[in-house]
Amino acid sequence: MKLVTVAEMQRLEQDCGVPASQLMENAGLAVAQEAWLMLGEVAERRVLVLVGPGNNGGDGLVAARHLKEWGADVICYLLKARERADPVYDAAAALEIPMISASDKLAEALGGAELVIDALLGTGRGRPIEGVLADVLDRLKDARGTRMPPRLIAVDLPTGLDPDTGAVDEHCVAADETVALGFAKVGPHLQPGARYTGRVEVVDIGIPTTMGESVQTELLSRKWAQEHLPERPADAHKGTFGSVMVVAGSPSYTGAAYLSCTGSMRVGAGITTLAAGRSIHPVLASKLTETTFELLDDKDGELTAEEAYAVLGALKRGYECLLVGPGLGQSGYVQAFLRGLLPSLTTEPAEGTRRSLKALIIDADGLNNLATIPNWPSMLKVPTVLTPHPGEMARLTGLSVDEVQADRLSIARKYAAEWSTVVLFKGAPTIVAAPDGRARVNTFANPGIATGGTGDVLAGAIAGFVAQGVEPFDAACLALYVSSVAGEMVRQEMGSAGMLAGDLAQALPRAMKDLRGEGGPSRSSPQREDILSMLTRGMAQE
């Protein structure tokens, strides 16, 4: 599903060739249909429409007109008087829909409403909410907190939710459903906005769907993941599914090496090799019986600059992906190791084999050490995926955590382009951005995976998918989605506390089996489409 910014939506509306008046009629009808579906029947049901001064309010007035024609008991509250010669207002008034603007009458209307439609601002918010609008929203919030609250539908956005960043005004009221007009907006799929939107239903208002092809932000979906899982042919062998080398681990963080290798193997990589210090090999060898090992000399458990040459030599045997970083520790030794390794990586085929390095994944301590190296982006000579959490992103960018969190999508997209890397920016939600401007948003929220080591599993899964031939940007997105499904499976089995990163790794094959074997549930069932078709035909006949 495409996600648009306000600027993109305005451009789509201007370029679609459909008159603004017709777009408003289509939007209002769609909102009325959603109200019908929510209530089950609208005849003699009390509906309050909160009408703002702009186009969002116009959509609300059109919805009010349709609901009145279907027999609902409709009242419209006008935040401000509509402009003269307003056809949507005139059409609603002609049906003798009560139009109120006094606060005492609003209180009475809220008290008797079964459904409220928030058509106050939509994407038109440009400054903090105050004055009369703040009072209206506070009254709505109070009504929603009563023992028998009205249901709430937001037109395009709950009033007070920033459509581009997901920031939420203190007066914003959480909706049961948000009716996204034409295309879903970015803000409702980012935090904290996602907590205020309820179910997001995208409705057609007449803009051709083909126009959305130019939109570069998408919501990761089950259907997309199903289509991008690598094939597993019956005549395959281990070489079919590629090879991953993982450079990870130190005496304090042996688990990171284990988890990242397990993530790679559990998504189906043919061969996974762990390049690790000799001092920690005995510990890891007892746990990783399916990996091969490249033993490296270490200094007090940490890799040194000289071992960069050993890794480069091992890569010449033919690996599709190199993962560097989990549990390496932070020191001058590791920084020197990275300075020796990264600039020498190449995508040229290994000698004597057609295999070549398709991508480099840098995670965890690889990122922390990288951030200390001046002009580090110039060292990256092969396609690279970076996987920072907010703290690591702050170190890499030189910004504060608050700054990188304020507009996560823009930050991820900006630095993916600036660094010429794929950036998987972990958090709520996690965003994957490509150097060419593409971005995908993953809205899974699972407190159970907020535990040490899950990022190592994710990094290994990305490497495993790259080894199987998935392009790096898609591999990062696919690993993220599969890990999210696996995490949800474990949460349902174990609850949201006590889940371990190892549980997540073990669930990866089940998540992929589920994706391969079953189609995702459609949000628009045949029954729903039949109802909408019936309502549309009924209006056409009238």
pLDDT digits (tens, 9 = 90+) for 257-268: 999 999 999 999
Residue 530's pLDDT is what? 58
Instruction: Say whether both 238 and 317 belong to one domain.
Output: yes
Structure tokens at 409: 């999508």
Instruction: Say whether both 316 and 255 belong to one domain.
Output: yes
Structure tokens at 178: 């948000």
The answer on pLDDT for 293 being more than 90 is: yes
Q: What share of the chain is helix, strand, coil (3-state, %, to 5)?
A: 50, 15, 35
Nearest CA-CA partner of 218 in 4, 474, 511, 457: 4
Contact at 8 Å (CB) between 23 and 207? yes
Instruction: Say whether both 344 and 457 belong to one domain.
Output: yes
Instruction: Say whether both 134 and 228 belong to one domain.
Output: no
pLDDT digits (tens, 9 = 90+) for 410-464: 999 999 999 999 999 999 899 999 999 999 999 888 888 888 899 999 999 999 9
Q: How far apart are CA 202 and CA 506, in angstroms?
A: 35
**Does residue 289 belong to any structural domain of this protein?**
yes
Which is higher by pLDDT, 176 or 526? 176
Predicted TM-score (pTM) of this structure: 0.90
**Sheet containing 177-181: order of strands:** 99-100, 73-78, 46-51, 115-119, 151-155, 177-181, 199-203
| pLDDT band, very low/low/confident/very high, at 531 (cuts 50, 70, 90) | low
Contact at 8 Å (CB) between 342 and 304? no
pLDDT digits (tens, 9 = 90+) for 128-160: 899 999 999 999 999 999 999 999 999 999 999
Instruction: Say whether both 504 and 421 belong to one domain.
Output: yes
Instruction: Say whether both 206 and 231 belong to one domain.
Output: no
Number of structural domains (the chain) is 2
The answer on pLDDT for 85 being more than 90 is: no
Q: For residue 70, what is the domain's CATH number?
A: 3.40.50.10260
**Does residue 183 belong to any structural domain of this protein?**
yes
Q: Give the CA distances from residue 166 to residues 158, 162, 293, in Å, rounded to whole numbers and listed in that order.
A: 11, 5, 45
Instruction: Say whether both 203 and 300 belong to one domain.
Output: no
Instruction: Say whether both 388 and 433 belong to one domain.
Output: yes
Torsion sign across C-alpha atoms 492, 493, 497, 501: negative
**Does residue 527 belong to any structural domain of this protein?**
no
Which is higher by pLDDT, 450 or 528? 450
The answer on pLDDT for 523 being more than 50 is: no
Residue 123's pLDDT is what? 83
Instruction: Say whether both 307 and 289 belong to one domain.
Output: yes
Structure tokens at 427: 């958090």
**Does residue 524 belong to any structural domain of this protein?**
no
Instruction: Say whether both 168 and 228 belong to one domain.
Output: no
Instruction: Say whether both 199 and 294 belong to one domain.
Output: no
Q: For residue 333, what is the domain's CATH number?
A: 3.40.1190.20
**Does residue 252 belong to any structural domain of this protein?**
yes
Structural domain boundaries, residue 397 = 223-517
**Length reported for the chain:** 542
Structure tokens at 395: 């170190």
Average pLDDT over residues 99-107: 90
Q: How far apart are CA 316 and CA 324, in angstroms?
A: 16
Beta bridge partners, 232, equal none
**Does residue 74 belong to any structural domain of this protein?**
yes
Identify the domain boundary among 160, 181, 215: 215
Beta bridge partners, 180, equal 202
Residue 535's pLDDT is what? 53
Identify the domain boundary among 215, 242, 258: 215
Residue 517's pLDDT is what? 85
Residue 126's pLDDT is what? 66
pLDDT digits (tens, 9 = 90+) for 345-381: 999 887 777 789 999 999 999 999 999 999 999 999 9
Q: How far apart are CA 518 and CA 348, in angstroms?
A: 39
Q: How far apart are CA 298 and CA 296, in angstroms?
A: 6
**Does residue 480 belong to any structural domain of this protein?**
yes
Q: How far apart are CA 78 and CA 115, in angstroms?
A: 16
| Average pLDDT over the chain, rounded to an integer | 92
Contact at 8 Å (CB) between 217 and 474? no
Contact at 8 Å (CB) between 285 and 268? no
Amino acid symbol at 158: P
Instruction: Say whether both 77 and 24 belong to one domain.
Output: yes
Contact at 8 Å (CB) between 460 and 246? yes
Average pLDDT over residues 502-521: 85
Beta bridge partners, 181, equal 203
Q: How far apart are CA 109 and CA 106, in angstroms?
A: 5
Q: What is the DSSP letter of 431?
A: E
Nearest CA-CA partner of 154 in 119, 129, 186: 119
Identify the domain boundary among 215, 235, 262: 215
Residue 354's pLDDT is what? 72
**Does residue 536 belong to any structural domain of this protein?**
no
Residue 446's pLDDT is what? 85
The answer on pLDDT for 525 being more than 70 is: no
Which is higher by pLDDT, 531 or 152? 152
Residue 127's pLDDT is what? 73
